[in-house]
Amino acid sequence: MTAQAGPSTQHIVEKVWLSIAERRLRPGVQLKEEQLATIFNVSRAKVRQALTALERDGLVTIIPNRGAFVSKPSVEEARDVFFVRRTVERCVIERLCKSVSKADLKRLRDHVAKERVANAQDITSEIIKLSGGFHLLLAETLGSDFLFTTMRDLIARSSLITAVYRNTNRFNCGPDEHAEIVEAVAANDAEKAIRLMAHHLEHVESELDLSEIRDLSHDLRAALA
């Protein structure tokens, strides 16, 4: 029987990404095309498109003649990703303090307001999307395709690393710290904004237990439910 149109490729990508970020899919689990096509009621061609996009973001590893698997970031890779994030985000903040407009600040403050709502209502999927989205929005505001693409890749990889190594069930990249960064940027205080961002990333990294890969779910259907 031919699969119906079903959800978009991006929807599948986001569903798999959230299942990883919410710690419902374990590193190394195989993402079988046929099973995903059944779960999402789409063609295998659409599933392949989604898996290719996830591979580009570093969330999935595709092995020829074997299939696609949720990536297994090493401890060394985890440390490297956060090292690079600190470097790139320092550059973003430094440039943003020189060029931020009133319209930019409104977008950033509105985003933080949405984060507060998601945190107050304890909506995990929204908390995760908005937390990463804040850092992506900072890069987007600069209008640099290179920095935006770089940040998108780093945030995706950070989400996987955080899901694997976080030593608490609470995802904490909170709006209060984001709000402080925005206000420092609004004051064009680059030194303070850079210091706040460095502290923020250190806070996120400090919640990781870089000693072992935790045993998350093998059940693809249950993880994507």
Write out the chain's pLDDT in tens, 225 residues: 444 567 899 999 988 988 887 778 888 899 999 999 999 999 999 999 999 999 988 889 999 999 999 998 888 999 999 999 999 999 999 999 999 999 999 999 999 999 999 999 988 778 888 988 999 999 999 999 999 999 988 988 888 888 778 776 555 577 899 999 999 999 999 999 999 999 999 988 888 887 655 555 556 676 676
> H or E stretch including 63?
strand 60-63
User: For residues 125-145, b (16+ Cβ closer than 10 Å) or e, as one string?
Assistant: ebbbbbbbbbbbbbbbbbeee
The whole-number pLDDT of residue 69 equals 94
CA of residue 122 relative to chain centroid, distance: 18
The whole-number pLDDT of residue 3 equals 44
User: Looking at this protein, which amino acid is placed at residue 206?
Assistant: S
3-state secondary structure of 221: helix
Question: 197 is written with which tokens?
Answer: 């961002």
According to DSSP, residue 122 is labeled: T
The whole-number pLDDT of residue 214 equals 52
**Of 3, 1, 30, 2, residue with least CA distance to 16:** 30
Structural contact between residues 57 and 20, judged by C-beta atoms closer than 8 angstroms: no
pLDDT in tens, 109-129: 999 999 999 999 988 778 888
Q: From the CB of residue 88, how many other CB atoms can be counted at a distance below 10 Å?
A: 17
Question: 136 is written with which tokens?
Answer: 């992506």
Q: Which domains does the chain have, with CATH numbers?
A: 9-73+213-223 (1.10.10.10), 75-206 (1.20.120.530)
Structural contact between residues 10 and 45, judged by C-beta atoms closer than 8 angstroms: no
Spatial CB neighbours of 159, under 8 Å, sequence gap ≥ 6: 17, 20, 21, 59, 128, 132
Question: 58 is written with which tokens?
Answer: 């570093």
3-state secondary structure of 70: strand
Q: In what order do the strands lie in the sheet with 60-63?
A: 30-31, 67-70, 60-63
The whole-number pLDDT of residue 39 equals 94
pLDDT in tens, 9-52: 999 998 898 888 777 888 889 999 999 999 999 999 999 999 99
Spatial CB neighbours of 7, under 8 Å, sequence gap ≥ 6: 15, 40, 41, 42
